[in-house]
């Protein structure tokens, strides 16, 4: 698992001494991306979107909107297939590069941040990431929004675990995540947290 840093050195959280957090979304552009962008714009919160290459090609307008509205765009493989972690180094590298090329062709950004599908790492992926000169990005607070049953339950789960420096993992394919987002942002601010873009939280470069 990515959080073990066993095969792939990954960044999972920011400074634990500061009440600053980051929100990240995986698996888009997807059905809820536009609604989530509307909320982030209204609340003036930057986020990170780890995008799947074939979805990028199908929704270039959302890719442009993510970037133009000041959010980070990252690489989440090209197909996000269930067999991704069974592929060899070259096949993984091809997916990473194809997604980088798709994003660059749309918005001119050379992405530096990669989040492995399912958070699974192995020696083949370690080599592919090294060859692509990408930085592996994990998370410290997994929302489990793909399994959540109620808005209130999801919001409570996140807030009960929230710590300084956290990177929250959500999915812009989930209506429940869009549904709680405004309340989550406002509740976090009431508790004294501020929101930073993921690259700022981690002190890294998002783009080459």
CA distances from 116 to 47, 99, 137, 139, 168 (A): 18, 13, 8, 11, 15
CB atoms within 10 A of CB 175: 11
Longest Cα pair distance anywhere in the chain, in angstroms? 47
- Domain assignment present for residue 208? The answer is no
| CB distance 65 to 37 below 8 Å | yes
Would residue 171 show up in a list of annotated catalytic residues for this protein?
yes
pLDDT of res. 2? 94
CA atoms within 13 A on the CB side of 89: 9
Does the pTM exceed 0.95? yes
pLDDT of res. 105? 98
Among 13, 26, 71, 145, the active-site one is 26
What is the pLDDT of the chain when averaged over all its residues?
97
- Domain assignment present for residue 118? The answer is yes
- Domain assignment present for residue 58? The answer is yes
At 131-159, the pLDDT tens digits run 999 999 999 999 999 999 999 999 999 99
CB atoms within 10 A of CB 163: 12
CATH number at 37 reads 3.20.20.370
At 28-39, the pLDDT tens digits run 999 999 999 999
Residue 185 — pLDDT band, cuts 50, 70, 90?
very high
Residue 5 — pLDDT band, cuts 50, 70, 90?
very high
At 52-65, the pLDDT tens digits run 999 999 999 999 99
Provide the domain count of the chain. 1
Average pLDDT over residues 82-107: 96
> d(Cα 16, Cα 38) in Å, to the nearest integer?
29
Find the domain containing 52 and state its range: 2-202
Among 145, 166, 171, 199, the active-site one is 171
Residue 9 — pLDDT band, cuts 50, 70, 90?
very high
Written as one string, the DSSP assignment of 48-83 is: EEEE-HHHHHH-HHHHHHHHHTT-EEEE--SS--TT
- Domain assignment present for residue 207? The answer is no
Written as one string, the DSSP assignment of 123-169 is: HHHHHHHHHHT-EEE--SEE--TTT---HHHHHHHHHHH--TTBEEE
Would residue 145 show up in a list of annotated catalytic residues for this protein?
no
Quote the percentage of the chain above a pLDDT of 70: 100
pLDDT of res. 149? 94
């Amino acid at each position: 698992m990515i959080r073990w840093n066993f095969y792939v050195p990954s960044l999972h959280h920011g400074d634990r001494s500061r009440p600053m957090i980051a929100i990240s979304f995986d698996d888009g552009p997807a059905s809820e991306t536009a609604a989530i962008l509307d909320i982030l714009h209204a609340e003036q919160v930057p986020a990170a979107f780890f995008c799947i290459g074939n979805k990028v090609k199908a929704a270039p307008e959302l890719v442009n909107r993510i970037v133009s509205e000041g959010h980070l765009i990252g690489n989440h493989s090209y197909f996000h297939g269930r067999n991704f972690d069974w592929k060899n180094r070259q096949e993984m590298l091809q997916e990473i590069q194809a997604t980088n090329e798709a994003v660059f062709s749309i918005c001119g950004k050379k992405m530096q941040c990669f989040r492995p599908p399912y958070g699974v790492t192995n020696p083949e992926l370690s080599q592919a990431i090294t060859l692509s000169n990408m930085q592996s990005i994990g998370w410290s607070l997994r929302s489990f929004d793909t399994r959540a049953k109620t808005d209130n339950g999801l919001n409570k789960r996140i807030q009960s675990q929230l710590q300084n420096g956290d990177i929250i993992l959500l999915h812009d394919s989930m209506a429940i995540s869009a549904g709680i987002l405004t309340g989550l942002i406002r509740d976090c601010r009431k508790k004294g947290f501020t929101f930073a873009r993921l690259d700022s939280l981690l002190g890294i470069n998002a783009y080459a």
